[in-house]
Structure 1
C-alpha cells in the first residue's frame, strides 16, 4: 500500500504560503487542494514530487513509491512530438522499444483517434495537450499521482472523459488534485484540503460538502475570538485597577495579582487564532445603463471557419436586457468563432448587415487568450493607455485588483495565468459595458474569483453572451441556453441533456 506523509510542512516565501501542515495521503484517497491563485498549491505539489524543498518539516514516501506529477504547462520540448511520441516520452529511453502498446492503451482510454496520434502536439487543442501530458505521466506507471489544474483548457467532452478515467480507470492509487473547477472536485475527490498560510483545514468530504463546514468552522472561530477579546479587555481593565489600588495602598499582594492577571490576558491574546480571509484583489464589474430593450438582433447569420467553411446558421436571435445567453456545443462546433463574429459586428456594424446592434451598446469583451491585452505591455502601461485615468488612479486600481507595485511594472507575458485573468477582469470593469461578450472568462480564475464574478454578474443583472466549460458558473448565471449541433442552433431549457449526451458519448 502506497502512502505519502507530510509532517509539520511549511514553505515561507518570505511570508508563509502554508505552515504546520500534517497530512497522510493513503491508497484510494483523492484529495482536492483548494486555495487562491499564488497561495501555494503548485508549491505544495512540487514539494511532494521532490522538485522543491520545504522551509520546514518533512515529506515521507512509503518505500519504493513512484510519484507522477502532471504540471500545469506542457514542456516546450514535447510540442513538436507527435501525440504518440509525447506519451512515450514518459518512459525511460531504455524502456520505449517494444512498449508502444502501453501508450496505445492509454490513448484508447482517452478516445484519441488514430489520425490524431500522428499529429504534433503543437497542432492540437489545449485540451488534448493536457490529456497528452497526463498520459505521458501515467504511462510511467506511478504509484501516486499529483495533478496541477488538470482541467485547464479541457472542453466539456474531455472534462467528462477525465472525470470518468479518474473514477474508473486510474485504479486505487492516491491522488492530490489542485483545481478551481468545483464540479470536477465534487466528481473526483473524497477529501478536501483548504490550504492556508497559518492553519490549513482538511475535511473528509468533496468540496461541495466541505465548503459549508469550513464556513461554519470559520464563523465559530470568529465568535470565539470575539468572546476572548472581550475577556482580554476585562482582565486588563481589572489588572489596571488592581495595580493602581496596589500602588496607592502599598499592597504588594494586589500588585502581584495585577501582574498575574495581565500575564493571563497576554497568554489568552497569544492563543487567538487568526480567522482566514481570502486574499484581496477580486475585481468587481461595473455596468452602464441603457433604455434599449433589444441590444443585439441577428437574422439569418452564418458562422464560418476562417477558411470560409460553414459551421452553423442562426435564423433569428434577439439579446434583450438581462439575458445571459450560454453557448453550448462540442469542441469545434464554432462557439468561439461566433463570439469573435459578434465582437467584429459590434465594432463595425456596417460590415454585418444581418446583425443589428443598438447604438447604446457598450461592449465588454474578453477571449480565452486575453488577446485584447498586449503581452509586451505592462499592466500599468495597459491601464494607462486604454483608460486614461492617470498614474496614481491606475496604480490604485491595479493594487485593488491584487497587483503589487513590482507586478504592475512586469510585462504582461511574464505574469501568471491567474494574474492575466485578473487584469482582463479589471479591464472589463473599467470599460463599464452594458453587454458582456466573454469566451471562457473563468480560465485561470480561482474559486474565490469565480464566486465573486458570479455574484457581481447577478447583482448587476448583467446582459451578455458567453462560452464556458465551468458547469457551476454556467448554472449560476445562465438565463438562456443555445445548443449548437448539426450546423444549426436551437434554444434549450437547460444544459442538462447536453451534459448527459457528453457523459455517455
Structure 2
C-alpha cells in the first residue's frame, strides 16, 4: 500500500530520519510512537507530500485515498452548519445532487428524452453511491463524536477549536479512505467519544496509522507498533502492551551484547597496549587495531524511562476537610449544570472527575478553586488548605522571555537551583536545556514547564484540568509518578484512562445535575458502570418498571434512603481512619524489624513479629469490610 524505503530527512544539520524503512500493508492498524521531537508528525507530513525526503523514497498504490487528521485543520473556517461541513466529505454525491436538482428544475419546461436520460443516469449513479443515506451517515458519526441534533445545525464558526477538530475528524471518517493517518485524535475528545472512536476504528476495514499518547486507546485499536527512535523506524507486532514486553526483552538482549562487546574491546585494547612496543608483534598489533576499527559497535540501551526522584514538599498540612460544597446550584443560559449539589473533598483524596464534555467538569473545578463565584450555595475551603490550579490557559501565563530555570526560580524562590534542576530533569529538561527560552519551546515542552511549576508550588491541594494535553507517553509516566508520590490532596480532569487508573482512589461524575461519587479506582468504576448499564438495558427490554404506589403500599421515603446512606458513609469514614492508623503502625513496625539489633533479643523479636502479623490480619479484615460497605453505598446510589 505504502512503501517507505531508506528514507532520509534532514532539518538543517540534523537528520531526523536516516535511511529508515517501513511498509504499510492493507488492513494494518499501527501505532506510531516515540518521544517528542523524534519526527512522528513529520513522517505523516512526508507521507501525504507536505514535505519532501532528503533521500530515499515513499511510494504508494495508484489512486490511494488518504484521510489525514492533523492540528493544522483547526485553521479551517466556515459559517455553514457542522452537518453541512461534515457532508463535504461526499464530494461526488454532493456534485450529483446539485446536478439532479438542476435537471429536475430544467425538466419543468423541457421534457426532451435527452434531459430524462441524463437525469436517470445521475440518479442511478447517486443511488449506487448510497447518496440517499449520506445525511444519515454524517448525523450518526457526529452524534458518536458528541454532537447533539441541535448542535449539528449550528455553524462551525460558533464552536471552539476542540469541537471544530471533531468536525474535521467526522469529515475524514465519512470519506472512508483507504488509509487513515491520525495525529493525536483523542486530544480533543472526552471519554465517551474516545470509546466510540475506538469501536469505529476497530471495525474500520482500511489501514490506520495513529500517533497517540493514550496507551489504552492504542491497546484497543492497533495490532502493530512502529517506534521512531534515533532516525530509524523499529517495528513490533502487537499492541502497545505487547510492545512494552517485547522492547524490554530486546533491550535485555542488547544490553548483554553491549556488555560482552565492551569486555572484549577492553581485552583487545590491553593486548594491543601490552605488545605495541615489541617489533616482533607489530604485525599482530596492527591486525588487532584494524579488527577493532572494523567491528560493528553495539549501542548501549538508552534509559528513556526517567524516574521522579524528589519529594514534593509543602510547609503545612491541611485540615481533614479540604473543600465542602453544600446546596450548590450553577447554570448558564439554557444549560443547568448543578442543582442543590453537595460534595466533600477530604485530606488525602485523589479524585478523578470524569464525564462527557459539556457536563460541567471544568466549571466544577473552577468552583472548587474559587475562581468562579457566580453560583448559589456554599463552597468552603478548609483549614490550612493551600492550592494550585493547573489549566491549559496557564501555558499562556508563562513568561516567554524567561529561561526555563529562571521561570521556576521566580515562581518557587524557596527551592535551591539544585532542587529545581532535579525537578526539571524529571520533566526531561537536562543539562543546558534549562537555559532555553520559553518562547522557543513546543506545546508539549511548555506543558511540562507549567506542570513543573504547579508541582513546585507550596500547595497541599492540586487542581488539575487536562494536564496530559500535549504530553507524550514518557511525560505522562512522569506525571503519574509525581502524583503517586504527592502526599497531599488532588482532583484531576483527564481523558487519559491510564493516568486515571494509576492515580485516583475516588471517581466523581456529574449526573442529574448532582455530584456523584464512586469510592474506588477508575477500572473498578468502569466495571461497576458496565454492570449498571447492562442492568438498566435488561430492565427496559423486559418492560420492568418500578412498582406504583397503592393504598396498601406506600412509596419508599427518600429521607430513609438518605439517612441509611449517611450512616453507611459514616461507617466507611471510621474504617478508612482505622485503616490509615494500621498502615502507619505497619510502616513503624517494618522500620523496627529492619533494625539488626532487634534480632539479638529473641523475646522482643517474637513480640514484634506477632504484633506485625496481627496488624496485617486486621488490615485485611478492614479492607474487606470497606469493599462491602462501598458496594452497599453504590447500590443505594442506583
Does 2:466 match 1:437? Answer: no
Kindly tell me: are residues 137 and 109 of structure 1, through their superposed partners in 2, closer, same or farther at Cα, counting changes over 3 Å?
Answer: closer
Does 2:242 match 1:209? Answer: yes
Aligned residue number for residue 165 of structure 1: 200
TM-score by length of 1: 0.85
Deviation at 1:127, TM superposition (A): 4.8
> Is contact 2:318–2:460 with CA below 8 Å preserved after alignment?
no
> Is contact 2:315–2:458 with CA below 8 Å preserved after alignment?
no
Judge which range, 394-403 or 134-143, deviates more. Answer: 394-403
Aligned residue number for residue 526 of structure 2: 496
CA distance in 1, matches of 2:138, 2:258: 52
Given candidates 158, 169, 176, the residue that maps to 1:134 is 169
Matches within 5 A, 1:155-194: 155-168=190-203, 170=204, 172-194=205-227
Does 2:355 match 1:305? Answer: no
> Does 1 or 2 have the higher relative contact order (CA < 8 Å, sep 6+)?
1
- Structure 2, unmatched stretches of 5+, are 98-130, 538-638
1:247-297 deviations in Å (ceiling 9; x for gaps): xxx31xx111111122222333x4223423439898977332534441513
Given candidates 263, 266, 276, the residue that maps to 1:233 is 266
CA distance in 2, matches of 1:373, 1:295: 32
> Is contact 2:66–2:181 with CA below 8 Å preserved after alignment?
yes
Kindly tell me: are residues 486 and 164 of structure 1, through their superposed partners in 2, closer, same or farther at Cα, counting changes over 3 Å?
Answer: same
3-state SS in 1 of match to 2:19? strand
3-state SS in 1 of match to 2:293? helix
- Structure 1, unmatched stretches of 5+, are none
CA distance in 2, matches of 1:496, 1:333: 18
Greater CA radius of gyration, 1 or 2?
Answer: 2
Which structure is higher in helix share? 2
Deviation at 1:417, TM superposition (A): 2.6
Cα RMSD of the aligned pairs, angstroms, is 3.5
Matches within 5 A, 1:107-118: 107-111=139-143, 112-118=147-153
Does 2:187 match 1:152? Answer: yes
Deviation at 1:422, TM superposition (A): 1.0
Does 2:506 match 1:476? Answer: no
Judge which range, 479-488 or 72-81, deviates more. Answer: 72-81
Kindly tell me: are residues 338 and 441 of structure 1, through their superposed partners in 2, closer, same or farther at Cα, counting changes over 3 Å?
Answer: same
Given candidates 368, 371, 376, the residue that maps to 2:394 is 371
Aligned residue number for residue 48 of structure 2: 49
Does 2:333 match 1:333? Answer: no
3-state SS in 1 of match to 2:475? helix
Deviation at 1:15, TM superposition (A): 2.6
CA distance in 2, matches of 1:97, 1:458: 58
CA distance in 1, matches of 2:478, 2:79: 39
Does 2:283 match 1:261? Answer: no
Aligned residue number for residue 362 of structure 1: 386
> Is contact 1:398–1:408 with CA below 8 Å preserved after alignment?
no
> Is contact 2:326–2:341 with CA below 8 Å preserved after alignment?
yes
> Is contact 1:160–1:503 with CA below 8 Å preserved after alignment?
no
CA distance in 1, matches of 2:229, 2:286: 36
Aligned residue number for residue 409 of structure 1: 437
Judge which range, 416-425 or 131-140, deviates more. Answer: 131-140
Does 2:74 match 1:58? Answer: no
1:297-347 deviations in Å (ceiling 9; x for gaps): 3141415135596422575544333210111233222111111111117x9
1:137-167 deviations in Å (ceiling 9; x for gaps): 2344422111111111100111111111111
> Is contact 1:370–1:424 with CA below 8 Å preserved after alignment?
no
3-state SS in 1 of match to 2:370? helix
Kindly tell me: are residues 92 and 398 of structure 1, through their superposed partners in 2, closer, same or farther at Cα, counting changes over 3 Å?
Answer: farther
> Is contact 2:30–2:225 with CA below 8 Å preserved after alignment?
yes
Deviation at 1:415, TM superposition (A): 4.8
Aligned residue number for residue 27 of structure 1: 26
1:61-110 deviations in Å (ceiling 9; x for gaps): 01221222111243323354421232244465995452695354133234
Q: How many residues align?
A: 488
> Is contact 1:31–1:189 with CA below 8 Å preserved after alignment?
yes
CA distance in 1, matches of 2:141, 2:533: 14
> Is contact 2:166–2:188 with CA below 8 Å preserved after alignment?
no
3-state SS in 1 of match to 2:180? strand
CA distance in 2, matches of 1:191, 1:471: 21
CA distance in 2, matches of 1:189, 1:44: 18
3-state SS in 2 of match to 1:445? coil
Deviation at 1:405, TM superposition (A): 6.7
Aligned residue number for residue 453 of structure 1: 479
Judge which range, 96-105 or 178-187, deviates more. Answer: 96-105
1:114-146 deviations in Å (ceiling 9; x for gaps): 322221224335554233112222344422111
Deviation at 1:372, TM superposition (A): 6.3
Kindly tell me: are residues 79 and 65 of structure 1, through their superposed partners in 2, closer, same or farther at Cα, counting changes over 3 Å?
Answer: same
Does 2:253 match 1:220? Answer: yes
3-state SS in 2 of match to 1:425? helix
CA distance in 1, matches of 2:501, 2:307: 25
Kindly tell me: are residues 408 and 301 of structure 1, through their superposed partners in 2, closer, same or farther at Cα, counting changes over 3 Å?
Answer: farther
Deviation at 1:434, TM superposition (A): 1.5
Aligned residue number for residue 117 of structure 2: none
Kindly tell me: are residues 463 and 370 of structure 1, through their superposed partners in 2, closer, same or farther at Cα, counting changes over 3 Å?
Answer: same
